[in-house]
């Protein structure tokens, strides 16, 4: 059947059959970029990694058979991480036609008649969001349905007939945070979708549904989730076939694409499967300009009937430091909505300054720390957070080497913190709760008043509360707390684990002191003779490459640059299914970057790629954006000087771990800090971090 015959068949589908599954599509053509690499990774089926529309949009568009007339950009936090998705005249016309067809089919279970129900859109118009495919789709919908665009300055009139409301998660959270309420008529629905990443605090899907129920007065059977992206021309919807029936639990709801968009999954071993747990593949036949299935970065559980449930993202980029973005901490609304215990705020803001460090407290803290490091429960909780026994044992070993070894050491560290604040609000990182131990123990030593914003899963905080019980206590703050710009903190000062950009943003948002240590990358360097010593493995993977100290790049040198490196399989323990999928994507990324991949002996072996030093590339350009991977640069003795001159000139690189043969080569460089190989994550608890006092003095 020709493509034109297929189009006519889909156009003639009854609305109640639009979301039915269809037989396999014929194999598409291979994309015209990086063909050799793609065929190596996807030999049985041509796939286009969806991130290529971010990385190589010009090359993709050069393969179009017709000129592009319209481009959309994906949501993102900066221009650099936004995909560009372009369409020809024919491509945009098909997008227009079939997105409306599937939208009408989605409405059918809720609005049985042929009338066009009135809709409200929190999504702005195309004039306001000219590069948004979502805004364009709502614009097309408004050509067929009466649509009122949301305007906070103009009260909306109440309806007496069921309506639909379309909103992004960003708009819903902002509306809820501003105490918004707009009850919809009985029988109405709310269509929620992702988009506008990085514009507001993150909420789970369950939390989003609860906010919708509260703000708009609809039950969960009348909430529809849309799954779409600017790279596609078709959308999947997750809705309840019988809205008036019993409330369907979230784990019983499944997304479905219309019949012209087939779904498969990519397994960790890079095979294409018709069902199971893996990375979602979408063959969207309406995306005529590209005509190749997309391999997305979404992990799903796929059923044989092609319906799926989202399990999270497969790929993410570890930050160049600790793991909080400003949007994790700031409200999107301009209206304050701080839900703290007023007594807690008063207590935190009106405290006497700490009296200082006492020898008695130093002795007590020393005993508590030593007991904790021998407590099996503590090791178990670290292992639960890192998900691997080996990582937990490395972490515990580093902690034993890091903490002060005597009461006198604790006393000196307490003095070095130079605290002058009355109280502190401590924000843990997303990646590992145990990163707060240094400031937490120092606050206990100084008898500071401390408030810790809890993470959504905080067993370690509860453990530490028991450890310090009857000696010192700290308050916890609900994880949903966000700071409104210009609003007073619930404590005198804020300590945050985040990037340079996050810290600067927070300093602009509050007049109170903000402490943070920002971007932090470690680089390791070894002589070729140390390649078989696993000390560098510990530096790179002991925090799963999610800690701010973990080594992100390994330099291996010899008198002449090594031509190649012997296979070095690195295994830290059994990996989860999601981590296997991370590594499947990582290998492709490194191969596309010109790295020679070392063979992995099993799926549980981590990804290592190596290449010769190229002075044309900056050191930061060599870092991998994927977790559980390690780039290795082969260099000569002569290259080392150029590499570490570049390291010294980049303030992001804060630590170098080196073997004994490499340390003399680094002596002449103005590097911030050098440690023994294998000790990158054993930062000493001296009351300082990166040379700065932990609790900075004012002024």
CATH of the domain at 403: 3.40.605.10
CB neighbour class for 602 (10 Å; exposed up to 12, middle 13-18, buried from 19): exposed
What average pLDDT score do residues 324-339 get? 55
Q: Tell me: do 285 and 420 sit in the same domain.
A: no
Question: What's the CA angle centered on 139, arms 136 and 144, to 5 degrees?
Answer: 135
The total domain count for the chain is 3
What average pLDDT score do residues 276-300 get? 94
Decide which of 518, 534, 561 is a domain's last residue. 518
User: Which long-range contacts does 561-564 make (Cβ < 8 Å, 24+ apart)?
Assistant: 561/612, 561/613, 561/634, 561/635, 561/636, 561/639, 562/528, 562/634, 563/634, 564/596, 564/610, 564/634
Q: At what angle do helices 89-107 and 133-142 cross, to 10 degrees?
A: 70
What average pLDDT score do residues 673-681 get? 93
What average pLDDT score do residues 505-531 get? 90
Q: At what angle do helices 205-216 and 169-177 cross, to 10 degrees?
A: 60
What average pLDDT score do residues 238-255 get? 92
pLDDT in tens, 353-378: 344 688 999 999 999 999 999 999 99
Q: Tell me: do 251 and 384 sit in the same domain.
A: no
Sign of the dihedral defined by the CA atoms of residues 341, 170, 236, 579, in that order: negative
DSSP characters over 446-489: HT-EEEEEPPSS-HHHHHHHHHHTTT---EEE-TT--BPTTPPP
Decide which of 472, 501, 518 is a domain's last residue. 518
**Domain-located, residue 274:** yes
What average pLDDT score do residues 673-687 get? 93
pLDDT in tens, 427-437: 888 777 788 89
Does residue 339 register a pLDDT over 80? no
pTM above 0.85, yes or no: yes
Q: Tell me: do 512 and 401 sit in the same domain.
A: yes
| Band of residue 76 on the pLDDT scale cut at 50, 70, 90 | low
Decide which of 470, 485, 518 is a domain's last residue. 518
Q: Tell me: do 200 and 69 sit in the same domain.
A: yes
Q: Tell me: do 482 and 528 sit in the same domain.
A: no
- pLDDT, residue 520, reads 85
Question: What's the CA angle centered on 358, arms 355 and 359, to 5 degrees?
Answer: 175
Contact (CB, 8 A) for 264 and 303: no
Does residue 525 register a pLDDT over 50? yes
Sign of the dihedral defined by the CA atoms of residues 675, 681, 685, 688, in that order: positive
Q: Tell me: do 471 and 540 sit in the same domain.
A: no
Q: Which domain holds residue 457?
A: 342-518
What average pLDDT score do residues 590-594 get? 91
Contact (CB, 8 A) for 211 and 172: yes
The CATH number covering residue 582 comes to 3.40.309.10
| Band of residue 198 on the pLDDT scale cut at 50, 70, 90 | very low
Strand, coil or helix: 61: helix
**Domain-located, residue 302:** yes
**Domain-located, residue 336:** no
**Domain-located, residue 327:** no
Q: Tell me: do 528 and 671 sit in the same domain.
A: yes
**What's the residue count for the chain?**
699
pLDDT in tens, 436-478: 899 999 999 999 999 998 876 688 999 999 999 989 999 998 8
The total of other beta-carbon atoms located within 10 Å of residue 286's CB is 21
Q: Tell me: do 222 and 169 sit in the same domain.
A: yes
Q: Report the DSSP beta bridge partners of residue 167.
A: 192
Give the CA radius of gyration of the chain.
Answer: 28
Strand pairing class (607-612; 629-636) = parallel
Cα gap 113→489, rounded to integer Å = 53
What average pLDDT score do residues 246-265 get? 94
Q: Tell me: do 479 and 536 sit in the same domain.
A: no
User: Which conformational region is residue 619 in: left (phi greater than 0), alpha (psi within -120 to 50 degrees), or beta?
Assistant: alpha
- pLDDT, residue 450, reads 93
Question: What's the CA angle centered on 263, arms 258 and 267, to 5 degrees?
Answer: 165
pLDDT in tens, 119-170: 999 999 999 999 999 999 999 999 999 999 987 665 566 668 899 999 998 8
The total of other beta-carbon atoms located within 10 Å of residue 1's CB is 8
Does residue 79 register a pLDDT over 70? no
Does residue 347 register a pLDDT over 60? no
**Domain-located, residue 331:** no
Cα gap 126→135, rounded to integer Å = 5
Which segment of 45-59, 88-102, 326-340, 378-392 scores lowest on mean pLDDT? 326-340
Tokens encoding 687: 């009351």
What average pLDDT score do residues 91-101 get? 97
Q: Tell me: do 632 and 677 sit in the same domain.
A: yes
pLDDT in tens, 215-225: 999 999 999 99
**Domain-located, residue 323:** no
**Domain-located, residue 681:** yes
**Domain-located, residue 337:** no
Strand, coil or helix: 373: helix
Contact (CB, 8 A) for 55 and 589: no
Tokens encoding 103: 């939208």
528-542 core/surface letters (b: 16 or more CB in 10 A; e: else): bebbeeebbbbbbbb
Q: Tell me: do 289 and 372 sit in the same domain.
A: no
Contact (CB, 8 A) for 621 and 639: no
Q: Tell me: do 490 and 574 sit in the same domain.
A: no
The total of other beta-carbon atoms located within 10 Å of residue 43's CB is 10
Contact (CB, 8 A) for 569 and 603: no
């Amino acid at each position: 059947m020709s493509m034109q015959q297929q189009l006519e068949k889909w156009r003639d589908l009854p609305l109640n059959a639009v979301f039915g599954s269809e037989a396999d599509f014929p194999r598409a053509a291979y994309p015209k970029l990086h063909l050799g690499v793609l065929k190596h990774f996807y030999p049985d089926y041509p796939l286009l990694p969806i991130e290529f529309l971010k990385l190589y949009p010009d090359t993709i568009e050069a393969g179009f058979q017709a000129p592009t007339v319209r481009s959309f950009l994906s949501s993102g936090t900066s221009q650099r991480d936004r995909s560009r998705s372009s369409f020809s005249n024919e491509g945009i016309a098909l997008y227009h036609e079939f997105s409306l067809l599937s939208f009408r089919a989605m409405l059918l279970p809720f609005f049985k008649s042929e009338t066009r129900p009135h809709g409200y859109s929190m999504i702005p118009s195309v004039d306001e969001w000219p590069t948004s495919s979502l805004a364009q789709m709502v614009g097309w919908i408004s050509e067929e349905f009466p649509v009122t665009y949301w305007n906070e300055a103009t009260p909306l009139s109440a309806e007496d007939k069921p309506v639909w409301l379309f909103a992004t998660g960003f708009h819903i959270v902002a509306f809820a945070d501003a105490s918004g309420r707009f009850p919809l008529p009985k029988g109405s629905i709310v269509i929620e979708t992702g988009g506008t990443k990085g514009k507001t605090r993150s909420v789970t899907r369950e939390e989003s549904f609860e906010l919708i129920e509260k703000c708009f007065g609809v039950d969960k059977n009348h909430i529809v989730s849309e799954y779409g992206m600017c790279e596609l021309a078709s959308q999947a919807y997750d809705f309840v076939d019988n809205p008036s029936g019993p409330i369907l639990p979230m784990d019983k709801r499944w997304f479905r694409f219309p019949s012209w968009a087939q779904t498969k999954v990519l397994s960790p071993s890079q095979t294409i499967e018709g069902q199971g747990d893996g990375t979602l593949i979408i063959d969207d036949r309406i995306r005529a300009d590209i005509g190749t299935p997309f391999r997305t970065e979404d992990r799903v559980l796929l059923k044989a009937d092609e319906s799926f449930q989202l399990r999270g993202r497969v790929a993410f980029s570890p930050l160049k430091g600790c793991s909080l973005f400003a949007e994790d901490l700031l409200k999107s609304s301009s209206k304050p909505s701080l839900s703290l215990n007023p007594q807690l705020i008063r207590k935190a803001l009106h405290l006497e300054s700490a009296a200082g460090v006492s020898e008695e407290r130093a002795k007590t803290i020393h005993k508590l720390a030593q007991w904790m490091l021998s407590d099996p429960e503590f090791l178990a909780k670290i292992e639960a957070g890192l998900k691997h026994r080996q990582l937990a044992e490395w972490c515990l070993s580093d902690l034993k080497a890091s903490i002060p070894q005597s009461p006198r050491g604790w006393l000196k560290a307490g003095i070095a913190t130079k605290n002058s604040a009355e109280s502190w609000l401590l924000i843990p990182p997303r990646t590992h709760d145990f990163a707060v131990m240094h400031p937490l123990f120092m606050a206990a030593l100084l008898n500071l008043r401390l408030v810790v914003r809890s993470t959504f899963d905080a067993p370690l905080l509860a453990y530490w509360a028991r450890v310090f019980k009857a000696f010192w206590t700290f308050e916890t703050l609900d994880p949903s707390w966000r700071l409104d710009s210009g609003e007073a903190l619930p404590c005198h000062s804020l300590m945050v684990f985040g990037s340079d950009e996050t810290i600067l943003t927070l300093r602009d948002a509050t007049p109170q002191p903000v402490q943070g240590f920002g971007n932090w990358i470690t680089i390791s360097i070894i002589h070729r003779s140390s390649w078989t010593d696993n000390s560098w493995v510990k530096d790179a993977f002991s925090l799963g490459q999610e800690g701010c100290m973990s080594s992100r790049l390994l330099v291996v040198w010899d008198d002449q640059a090594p031509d190649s490196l012997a296979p070095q399989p690195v295994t830290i323990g059994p990996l989860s299914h999601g981590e296997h999928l991370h590594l499947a994507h990582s290998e492709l990324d490194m191969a596309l970057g010109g790295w020679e991949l070392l063979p992995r002996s099993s799926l549980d072996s981590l990804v290592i790629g190596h290449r010769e030093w190229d002075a044309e590339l900056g050191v930061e350009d060599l870092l991998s954006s994927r977790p559980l991977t390690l780039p290795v640069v082969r260099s000569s003795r002569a290259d080392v000087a150029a590499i570490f001159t570049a390291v010294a000139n980049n303030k992001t690189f804060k630590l170098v771990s080196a073997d004994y043969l490499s340390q003399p080569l680094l002596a002449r460089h103005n590097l911030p800090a050098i440690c023994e190989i294998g000790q990158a994550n054993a930062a000493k608890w001296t009351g300082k971090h990166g040379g700065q006092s932990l609790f900075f003095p004012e002024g």
